[in-house]
Structure 1
């Protein structure tokens, strides 16, 4: 349970940082940020592996670059699913998803988490 809560907090902070850095990603409240990080975590845990498997040929053809698009689509979906989170476009979502991954990695290194 502790590991889950830490992951959730890290994801929430990462989305907060990315919303500050990227024009086109906005949130209305801390509550919407927390909900968005929870939904994104669940999608990454349950849906992303299935999508990776289904798009494997395309991922291979693009030398893995399609995974950036896939992550962006999931991030964009979160923006449409969670009330209070606005993501302007798919392009913005792809940029945001890449930055969320980078910020999450940095935060995990800062707190000494090994993922």
Structure 2
């Protein structure tokens, strides 16, 4: 349970950083103006993003094995952008708040790149702190 909470918080952090850096990615908070409410929406989107990555992404990756070979792995970035688009669609249609992605090219791809980079950096930091404990 602890690992799930830490991973969700780090994913929410990555989504927040993507919101800050990529102009085509933003969060719709509805009528929620409190700081805690906004953090809750970031965490909600992080949980949905994690579920999409856990259930949909493996199927898409298996189906796109020929594209991985053909593009030498660069299709992975496009698949991550697709997962971001699916998360955006799900949060808006189910919860009426959440992630908004303007377009697939370039907002979703740059957002996926930022989220991947932040996730990689946090994984490095978490691995170093886990080894020091």
Match of 1:6 in 2: 6
Q: Name which of 74, 99, 110 aligns with 1:95.
A: 110
RMSD between superposed Cα atoms in Å: 1.5
SS of the residue 1:107 aligns to: helix
1:1-115 matches, cutoff 5 A:
1-27=1-27, 28=29, 29-82=38-91, 83-91=97-105, 92-111=107-126, 112=129
Q: Deviations over 1:10-48 (max 9, x none)?
A: 000110011001101111233322111111111111211
Shift in Å at residue 113 of structure 1? 5.2
Unaligned runs of 5+ residues in structure 2 are: 30-37, 92-96
Greater Rg by CA? 2
SS of the residue 2:73 aligns to: coil
Distance (whole Å) between structure 2 residues aligned to residue 89 and residue 108 of structure 1 = 28
Distance (whole Å) between structure 1 residues aligned to residue 76 and residue 130 of structure 2 = 24
Segments of 4+ moved more than 4 angstroms: none
Unaligned runs of 5+ residues in structure 1 are: none
Shift in Å at residue 65 of structure 1? 0.8
Distance (whole Å) between structure 2 residues aligned to residue 89 and residue 113 of structure 1 = 38
Distance (whole Å) between structure 2 residues aligned to residue 99 and residue 66 of structure 1 = 16
User: Could you state the TM-score of these two structures normalised by the residue count of structure 1?
Assistant: 0.90
Deviates more, 1:87-96 or 1:28-37: 28-37
> Does the 8 Å CA contact 2:52/2:86 hold for their aligned counterparts?
no
> Does the 8 Å CA contact 1:10/1:108 hold for their aligned counterparts?
no
